[in-house]
């Protein structure tokens, strides 16, 4: 029997559109692993604000689970792939059994197998790509996959798909989403879930390395418009809610943490669904809102005007200017 020094380190990739439930599933996988096998986590976010890593580093993660943050790009793009490979190489030195990788919401993971193979050939221990799990939001997957072909790539690259948020979707939306998943990945096993509450042993048993393999369309030119909004003053929840509802038509996703007069808040907005709740994060977590735009229009004037009207107080928005272009992924086939 191989000892841990020679045994390959497994790797499972978790993908899904912005707000589909990736971090919720990741927490469930981490909880399932406790006492059974050791693991590490890599979290990738397009913005430079590590919101998901902050959630994992709070009360939801077991002691000894290392979380590596890779921000400001996609790990499948040349801009961040070298950092991803270095992180994988470093983790092959650890006495762990499994690496869980959470891709960013607009990731195109078509080249994941080659990245893992490349890193595995250079690592202290081999890497074994076990497969991908894609989360699809039942309320919007069929529509969004037609608009953003990268979502097709996420499903096509996965042997199992969690059709999540079925509690919020109509029967028609669920059926349309399943049909779209079958179109992208005919052999995938589909798990219908709410709150990413899957049968974890059955889910892991369904994971396999099969799926679409090709070139990723994630490039420096195709990355979405991403902004980080910060403020130095506590905000009022009612004004914050009005601000979020005013800007959500122009964005795919808003998430992060802010201080309010009532305490520290976690903010999550996906399309018309806006959620504000007390934040369960460490005291040293970075505060701010990560904003992922729908297109390449400069959103800073909109963000500033809406903030001034509904919240007031000083804000800073980075970057100082948006990236110039946006190219969508080519469709499969």
By C-alpha distance, which of 297, 292, 296, 293 is closest to 326?
Answer: 296
Torsion, Cα of 297, 303, 309, 315 (10° steps): -150
Residues 6+ apart with CB under 8 A from 164: 16, 20, 21, 25, 135, 136, 137, 138, 193, 194, 195, 196
Residue 248 DSSP class: G
Lowest mean pLDDT across 165-179, 255-269, 289-303, 315-329 = 315-329
Mean pLDDT over 75-79 rounds to: 91
Structure tokens at 29: 């996988």
Q: How far apart are CA 250 and CA 301, in angstroms?
A: 12
Mean pLDDT over 14-36 rounds to: 92
Q: Grade residue 3 by pLDDT with cuts at 50, 70 and 90.
A: low
Residues 6+ apart with CB under 8 A from 22: 14, 15, 16, 52, 102, 103, 105, 135
Give residue-wise pLDDT tens across range 127-174.
Answer: 999 999 999 999 999 999 998 889 999 999 999 999 999 999 999 999
Mean pLDDT over 184-188 rounds to: 95
Domains (ranges, CATH) in the chain? 9-206 (3.40.50.300), 226-318 (3.30.1220.10)
Is-contact 240 260, C-beta < 8 A? Answer: yes
Residue 235 DSSP class: B
Output the pLDDT for position 62: 61
Output the pLDDT for position 42: 95
Q: What is the pTM of this model?
A: 0.87
């Amino acid at each position: 029997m191989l000892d841990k020094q020679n045994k390959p380190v497994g790797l499972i990739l978790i993908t899904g559109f912005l707000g589909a439930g990736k971090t919720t599933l990741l927490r469930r996988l981490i909880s399932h692993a406790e006492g059974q096998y050791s693991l590490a986590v890599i979290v990738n976010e397009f913005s430079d604000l590590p919101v998901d890593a902050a959630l994992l580093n709070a009360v939801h993660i077991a002691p000894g689970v290392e979380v590596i943050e890779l921000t400001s790009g996609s790990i499948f793009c040349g801009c961040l792939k070298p950092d991803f490979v270095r992180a994988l190489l470093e983790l092959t030195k650890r006495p762990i059994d499994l690496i869980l990788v959470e891709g960013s919401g607009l990731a195109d993971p078509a080249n994941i197998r080659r990245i893992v193979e490349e890193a595995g050939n250079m690592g202290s221990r081999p890497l074994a790509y076990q497969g991908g799990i894609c989360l699809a939001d039942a309320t919007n997957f069929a529509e969004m996959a037609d608009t953003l072909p990268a979502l097709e790539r996420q499903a096509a690259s996965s042997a199992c798909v969690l059709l999540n948020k079925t509690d919020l979707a109509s029967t028609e939306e669920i059926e349309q989403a399943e049909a779209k998943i079958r179109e992208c990945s005919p052999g995938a096993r589909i798990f219908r879930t709410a709150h990413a509450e899957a049968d974890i042993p059955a889910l892991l048993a369904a994971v396999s390395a099969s799926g679409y393999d090709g070139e990723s369309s994630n490039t420096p030119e195709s990355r979405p418009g991403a902004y980080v909004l910060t403020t130095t003053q506590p905000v009022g929840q009612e004004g914050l809610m009005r601000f979020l509802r005013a800007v959500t038509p122009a964005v795919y996703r808003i998430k992060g943490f802010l201080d309010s007069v009532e305490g520290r808040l976690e903010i999550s907005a996906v399309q018309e669904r806006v959620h504000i709740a007390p934040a369960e994060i460490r005291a040293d977590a970075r505060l701010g809102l990560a904003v992922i735009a729908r297109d390449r229009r400069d959103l800073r004037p909109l963000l500033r005007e809406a903030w001034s009207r509904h919240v007031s107080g000083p804000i800073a928005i980075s970057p100082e200017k948006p990236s110039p272009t946006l190219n969508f992924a080519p469709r499969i086939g």
